[in-house]
Amino acid sequence: MKTDLRKPRGIIRSMAGENWNLTLSAPSDSLSFYVEHYWSVRWDMSESGPMVQENLPHPTVHLVFEKDNTKIFGVVSGRFTKSLEGKNRVFGIKFRPGAFYPFYKKPVSDFTDKEITIEQVFGVSTKPLEDEVFSLESESDLVHSAEDFLYERLPEEKDENIALINQLVERVIADRSILKVEDLSEISGQGIRNLQRIFNQYVGVSPKWVINRYRMHEILERITENTDWVRLAMDLGYFDQAHFIKDFKRMVGKSPEEYSKSAHSTQLT
């Protein structure tokens, strides 16, 4: 499995300027089966005031270290919004789709759209671990600390279902013609019900949700002021423009036209 450290997909509203910084770091080869990447965000909004980051998250679990608020976040099924205030930093571990299950050992759907503590999963106190992480300054030291933590808790064997899930997710990302669960069933040789069971248990959302989310990521990348909404809706599996616009507004918070105008305005500033 390859780790892609390019600009993340699914960004709705992104920060700009020198008052914040995002760093992505690849995992070691021995942890790349479980971890997609590590991420660190540092910001200083002391003078500019609070700013908002919005995105449509991927079907992944994150372990996020934040001062006095360290949590494990399940898949966010809707729009994720984070207000950055004052001066602070967070450090996160982004697990591959389905790859948190061997650590949790219960259906990941149990905490979709929810947060759980490190104690609940790993049986260790959060505060000492959090203090250790925030005593480190360099990104490389943060990554080494996270990897040491995970190495001590690695599952004895690699679960074949995780490999299957990631192969299917990579196909969904790469092949825009995949629009239905039946497509994944044909590719994988798995029955639809079995795929739904595996995704519910390992990923936390349905295979249909995964398809829809990555198609929406593609829409965000393709939108321009002169977008042909009917053609775009049909290309991505919608039977009519109204259904597409309704879904887009529900997930993004704006109509496609409103979003395209605001994105274009941001590019011009």
Weakest-pLDDT range from 20-29, 42-51, 84-93, 231-240? 231-240
* Predicted confidence (pLDDT) per residue in 166-221, tens digit: 999 999 999 988 999 999 999 999 999 999 999 999 999 999 999 999 988 888 88
Confidence class of residue 15 from pLDDT cuts 50, 70 and 90? low
Helix, coil or strand: residue 117: coil
* Contact between residue 55 and residue 12 where contact means Cβ atoms under 8 Å apart: yes
pLDDT at position 18 is 62
β-pairing, 62-66 vs 20-25, is unpaired
| Residue 155 identity | P
Write the CA distances from 67 to 86, 126, 127, 133, integer angstroms: 13, 11, 9, 10
In this prediction, what percent of the chain has a pLDDT beyond 70?
Answer: 91
Question: CB-based contacts of 146: which residues, under 8 Å, 6+ apart?
Answer: 38, 91, 93, 133
CB 51 within 8 A of CB 44: no
Place of tokens 């490389």: 140
Look up the pTM and report it. Answer: 0.90
pLDDT in tens, 85-138: 888 899 999 999 999 999 999 999 999 999 999 999 999 999 999 999 999 989
Q: Is the pLDDT of residue 239 over 80?
A: no
Look up residue 55 and give its two tokens.
């995105």
Q: Which of 173, 206, 195, 174 is nearest to 75 (CA)?
A: 206
Considering the chain, what is the average pLDDT of its residues? 88
What distance in Å separates the CA atoms of residue 116 and residue 94, rounded to the nearest whole number?
15
Report the DSSP beta bridge partners of residue 43: 20, 88
**Residue among 71, 70, 86, 85 nearest 134 (CA):** 70
pLDDT grade, residue 236 (50/70/90)? Answer: confident
